[in-house]
Amino acid sequence: MTLEDLWKLTRRQFVVIVVAALVGLLLAFVWMSLQPKVYTATAAGYVTAGGGSSIGESYSSQTLAQQKAQAYVTLFTNRRVTEAVIKDLGLDATPQALAARITATVPPEGVSISVTASGPSPQEAKSIADSVVTAAAAEAKRIEESGPTRRVVQADGSTRTVKSQAQVLIEPNESAILPTSPSSPNPTRILPLGLVLGLLVGYGIAALRHYNDTKLRHVDDVEETAGAGVLGVLPMSKDLGSERGEARRSKAFHEREALRKLRTNLRFVDVDNQPRSIVVTSANQGEGKSTVAANLATVLAESGERVVLIDADLRRSAVARAFDLDGEVGLTEVLAGTITLADALQDTDVPGLQILAAGATPPNPSELLGSHRMEQLIEELSQRHFVILDAPPLLPVTDAVLLTRSADGAVLVVAAGRTHREALDRAAASLRAVDAKVLGAVLNQASTKKVDRIRYGDVEYGHVTSYEKDYAAESDGAVSRRDVKAARRGRT
């Protein structure tokens, strides 16, 4: 995985990653709250080895003290010392358990022994540290004085017994300071650890979701799957629909601009052999093919084209309803020869746009749409019109495949975040299997939410710049050009 892949994963699954990280942080906090608090205090003892009247004697004493310090560091955790501390403080603990709470260290060539003791309360930790130093000093003195006795001859010739004297002593020189905060659990270590573990789990879950999610949301994914370019991206909007009269509803600026871009790209898809008849279809139902067909026909007519929009979805017609027209008579009757084409065509409020409704539902839609009469009808209309056919989805039925063979090509409509990669791949393959031309795809219902733009990197829609706002206002006649220029100068 490259850094770019990691960034895409983070951007698209940031909610999962952030939630997992917060859960890890919360669990670490809860675990830390349930742990008993441990306080730590530190005291110190200084090892002395007599003195000397000369530099040489002083140096020898210092060397002896260093050697003894290395040897006596083990006294602070031996059984006699811990028993003395337990007796002194009245602790409810065994010598072994107390020894596990004590740590004694001495630096190389040093004579100061540092003792760290832990306890469930600040006062107990301080008392144990001080008591350990005192008990260890007493034990060191006892060891030093346990040497053999000597008999000394006095001046008068008599002898007397002399006990061994301690030459090396441990002097408590630094008492413990009462701790103000617990040393364990340590939030500066536990909380970051919980956060890191939560992030790792989050990225693991995000990777599984990412690689198991086959829904198409980005232009690059659609182009790779369809094997054709994306001609346009239409934003999710209530004004772009195929319900009763919705094709006649006024559109916002960015919606109109998206449709214009689709119109322009369609004209340049094959400049040598510009298509005059196109089939608009999708992989499955509900992905917006009728909406795209109706709005594309409208913007083509607005540009001066003579357009005929044919509702070739004889099973679930929607075009007549979108333009609020009568759909009882139409394509079915024309193909059956019960009515002429001129009588079946219906004018709309858009100059240059005519509608050929689906008509009555026949018992054999596929045979009717794949007939030679249908091919002749498309060829006849495309002589003087730009023909758009709203066809059924490709995967449930074969109607769109049959129609595309008679037309100049097909445009596949992909619903962002709904159409699966496998469905689009199968739909495109079904067209190419009969040598039908895939002109391109339209990414429909693209989210306009800022969060989704950040997640999927699509900044074309959902974000309107100040220039676009001003341009839209001018186009709608809301403000004058002079007001727009004055507003821009004010911002700068």
Quick one: pLDDT at residue 480?
41
Contact 12, 210 (CB under 8 A): yes
CATH number listed for the domain at residues 219-461:
3.40.50.300
Q: How many helices (H) and strands (E) does the chain have?
A: 20, 14
Angle, CA 379 vertex, CA 376 and CA 385 arms, to 5°? 135
Contact 140, 128 (CB under 8 A): no
Rounded to whole angstroms, the maximal C-alpha distance in the chain is 156
Burial class (CB in 10 A: 0-12, 13-18, 19+), 64: middle
d(CA 437, CA 226) in angstroms, rounded, equals: 12
Residues 359-362: contacts with CB under 8 Å, at least 24 apart: 359/314, 359/327, 359/328, 359/329, 359/330, 359/331, 359/332, 359/333, 359/334, 360/328, 360/329, 360/332, 360/333, 361/314, 361/315, 361/332, 362/314, 362/332, 362/336
DSSP for 203-222, please give it: HHHHHHHHHH--B--SHHHH
- Which residue matches tokens 């200084």? 46
Beta-strand relationship, 159-162 and 277-282: unpaired
d(CA 475, CA 179) in angstroms, rounded, equals: 72
φ and ψ of 383, to 5 deg: -65, -40
DSSP for 439-463, please give it: EEEEEEEE---HHHHHHH---SSS-
Quick one: pLDDT at residue 486?
44
Tokens of 479: 């403000």
d(CA 410, CA 404) in angstroms, rounded, equals: 6
Contacts of 482 (CB under 8 A, 6+ apart): none
d(CA 3, CA 21) in angstroms, rounded, equals: 20
Contact 193, 28 (CB under 8 A): yes
Which fold does the domain 39-146+162-174 belong to in CATH? Answer: Alpha-Beta Plaits (3.30.70)
Quick one: pLDDT at residue 374?
93
Radius of gyration of the chain (CA): 44
Respond yes or no on whether the N-terminal peptide bond of residue 107 is cis (omega within 30° of 0): no
Tokens of 297: 């026909």
Tokens of 264: 């322009």
Quick one: pLDDT at residue 80?
93
Query: What are the E-state strand segments in 236-392?
Result: 277-282, 307-311, 346-347, 353-356, 386-390
d(CA 439, CA 431) in angstroms, rounded, equals: 11
Contact 225, 428 (CB under 8 A): yes
* Residue spans per domain, the chain: 3-35+186-212, 39-146+162-174, 219-461
39-146+162-174 and 219-461 agree in CATH topology: no
Tokens of 284: 């499955």
Quick one: pLDDT at residue 30?
95
Distances (CA, A) of 203 to 13, 25, 164, 190, 417: 8, 15, 70, 20, 21
Beta-strand relationship, 230-235 and 438-446: parallel
- Predicted confidence pLDDT, tens digits, the chain (492 residues): 788 788 878 877 888 999 999 999 999 999 999 999 999 999 999 998 876 556 666 678 888 888 988 989 999 999 999 999 999 999 999 999 999 999 999 998 889 999 999 999 999 999 999 999 999 999 988 888 876 655 656 666 667 665 656 678 899 989 999 999 999 898 999 999 999 999 999 999 999 988 888 888 888 889 999 999 999 988 877 656 555 545 555 556 778 888 899 999 998 888 778 899 999 999 999 898 998 999 999 999 999 999 999 999 998 888 888 888 888 889 999 999 999 999 999 999 899 999 999 999 888 899 999 999 999 999 999 999 999 999 999 999 999 999 999 999 999 999 988 899 999 999 999 999 998 999 999 998 887 665 455 455 554 444 444 444 454 444 444 444 444 444 444 443
